[in-house]
Amino acid sequence: MSVPLPPEPIPGARLLFSLDPAVSHLNHGSFGAVPITVQRAQQRLRDEMEADPLRFFTQGLIDRITHARRHLAGFLGADPDGTALTVNATTGVAVALQSVGLRPDDEVLTTDHGYGAVDFAVRRECHRTGATHRVLRVPLSATTEEIVQIVRSGLRPGRTRLVVVDQLTSATARLFPVAAIVGVAREHGVSVLVDAAHAPGMLPATVQSIGADFWVGNLHKWGYAPRGTAVLVVSPPWRERVEPLVVSWEQEAGFPGRVEWQATADYTGWLSAPVGLYVLRTLGVDRVRAHNAALAAYGQRVVGDALGVRPADLPDPGGPTVAMRIVPLPAGLATTMDGARALRARIAERLAAQVAVNTWDGRGWLRLCGQVYNSPDEYDRLAVQLPTLLDQR
């Protein structure tokens, strides 16, 4: 079976970014890349802040944050009054976890595809409250129906208080049927927290169509916002119970203000985030999604072929707009977190390529992303050079 053709490049897209041209940036999903226009918009706001800090923080800043939040919520299909800006999805998860009010007889259900930092947060909250953390194993090859059934079978009515599930997983680039999982959990009176760190900008599903009790997503990955821009979306029954991690002067304002206002934080990233969506819309949202997904699929095939992986053994992400793909590494490589980090660093140093290397289910996986600033030859070079580097272990 031949390698699929890469997509046609989007003219001028590479010039929108200030990335080092000597490096192949094939890991947009970790920290994103901020377009130059967005960088400049944020710098203008920082200049304004430094020119008169008292005026910036005390005259209209809350209204400006509200305006930015409404713009971002509209793009995501979320209720602006139920949306709070926060610095990242992990922070949103922590806010949600502490707001649920876990008790010693409760349990939190997650899957083995969950993000490591979120797992840490769940364990800490369970340790603090006496609740139990239980992990469901979901095979990489599981169908949508099988995933829903695994969650359904894993629920323990009267015990399971919260399900935490990824919309798109970081380690395995797996798309989860979150709306169906929410429906199943609701049948049993169980709340759901959706970790949608990679969804904003990449996936077309709206927040309201999912219907989760809590939904968190990063704008600084696929939404071209400055880093430190994320949202926590909360359903109406929970909003009055949501408490910030740190209490500040908007505590009496209720949600979302009490979560957003953190005194002298740098809010310029939030205020300039709508410019990132403007860049995305100018390029064409559907066009960018289709390009990035096709490019990631191309990269997966050429690298997989170079490593001797049969096309049938290359995991399918489960959706046409997923711009991340994974390739299984040879047995014995990156089987621990330290090993994965070391291999990623070696690839960056020796091949001038930034990729993600993860450990999942006892083996190592290479994760490749596609973005408008990438070109097919970057994946081709990696495919040529990577086998030799891996043989040098």
Domains and CATH numbers, the chain: 13-33+285-391 (3.90.1150.10), 38-278 (3.40.640.10)
**Residue ranges of the alpha helices (H) in 307-375?**
337-351
d(CA 1, CA 221) in angstroms, rounded, equals: 33
The answer to whether the beta carbons of residues 193 and 214 sit under 8 Å apart is yes
The answer to whether the beta carbons of residues 46 and 268 sit under 8 Å apart is yes
Q: How many other C-beta atoms lie within 10 A of the C-beta of residue 218?
A: 29
Tell me: pLDDT of 320 over 90.
no
Task: Provide mean pLDDT across the span 341-359.
Answer: 98
pLDDT tens readout for residues 165-200: 999 999 999 999 999 999 999 999 999 999 999 999
d(CA 166, CA 330) in angstroms, rounded, equals: 27
Confidence category of residue 1, pLDDT binned at 50, 70, 90 = low
Cα distances from 215 to residues 28, 61, 136, 296, 362, in angstroms, run 22, 25, 20, 26, 29
**Residue ranges of the alpha helices (H) in 284-329?**
285-306
d(CA 93, CA 162) in angstroms, rounded, equals: 12
The answer to whether the beta carbons of residues 86 and 267 sit under 8 Å apart is no
Nearest in space to 355 (alpha carbons), one of 217, 281, 334: 334
Task: Provide mean pLDDT across the span 270-284.
Answer: 98
The answer to whether the beta carbons of residues 246 and 58 sit under 8 Å apart is no
Q: What is the 3-state secondary structure (H, E, C) of 54-104?
A: HHHHHCCHHHHHHHHHHHHHHHHCCCHHHEEEECCHHHHHHHHHHHHCCCC
Using the Cα atoms of residue 169, residue 173, residue 174 and residue 175 in order, give the sign of their dihedral: positive
pTM, 2 dp: 0.96
Task: Provide mean pLDDT across the span 284-309.
Answer: 96
d(CA 379, CA 93) in angstroms, rounded, equals: 34
pLDDT tens readout for residues 67-102: 999 999 999 999 999 999 999 999 999 999 999 999
Sort strands 363-369 and 356-360 into parallel, antiparallel or unpaired: antiparallel
